Amino acid sequence: MAKLNILEHPDPRLREPSAPVETFDQALRTLLDDMIETLRATSAIGLAAPQVDVRRRIVVCRTDPAREPRVFINPEITGSSRPAYIEEQCLSVPGEKGLVMRPTRVSVRAHDAEGVRFHDKLEDLDAVCLHHEVDHLDGTLFIDRFSLWQRLGRTAGRLLGRRPAPSP
């Protein structure tokens, strides 16, 4: 297993959409092992393949360190609750923190590491994590979901030559 390098904003590779996984082979399993090791080495709860420079629709979530990380391949969110404001951070946007709207319940359809299709319903942090990571597969970062007010705050902070502290 190997720890992978994490791409950081504004790297344009983070903005490219990812392609579905079609082959469930040893190379995929090695990538999953490496993604899990990379995630475990951080305080983050999720990692998407494009963050480690692989444009494939692969997500790993670890919302509870006591449980094994969950793998979602080709995840599709098929239903979601009304969104709520959640405070987020992202390994690919270091130093940035802010409130974004996320559903706190989602239905998901995906493949597991062996290529078997499954459905599941996720709640709370699991739902928020999956939604954030699926955004990465489409080239979206959480800062794109900031409100106009937060964007203005960030711009003002940059003009003043300091990092802004985002607030609601």
Asked whether position 39 contacts Zn ion by CB under 5 A, the answer is no
Of residues 95 and 162, the one with the C-beta less far from Zn ion: 95
Part of the chain binding Zn ion (CB under 5 A), chosen from 4-12, 86-94, 106-114, 118-126: 86-94
Of residues 58 and 90, the one with the C-beta less far from Zn ion: 90
**Which two tokens mark 11?**
């790297």
Of residues 32 and 48, the one with the C-beta less far from Zn ion: 48
Question: Of the candidates 21, 90, 134, 143, which one interacts with Zn ion according to CB under 5 A?
Answer: 90
Sequence-distant (6+) residues with CB within 8 A of 159 are none
E strands, the chain, where?
Answer: 46-48, 58-61, 70-80, 83-88, 98-103, 105-111, 117-123
Asked whether position 134 contacts Zn ion by CB under 5 A, the answer is no
**Whole-number Å distance between alpha carbons of 38 and 56:** 17
Respond yes or no: is residue 68 known to be catalytic. no
Part of the chain binding Zn ion (CB under 5 A), chosen from 20-28, 82-90, 100-108, 150-158: 82-90
**Whole-number Å distance between alpha carbons of 155 and 79:** 34
Asked whether position 61 contacts Zn ion by CB under 5 A, the answer is no
- Among all residues, which ones are annotated catalytic? 133
| Residues at the contact surface with Zn ion, assessed by CB under 5 A | 90
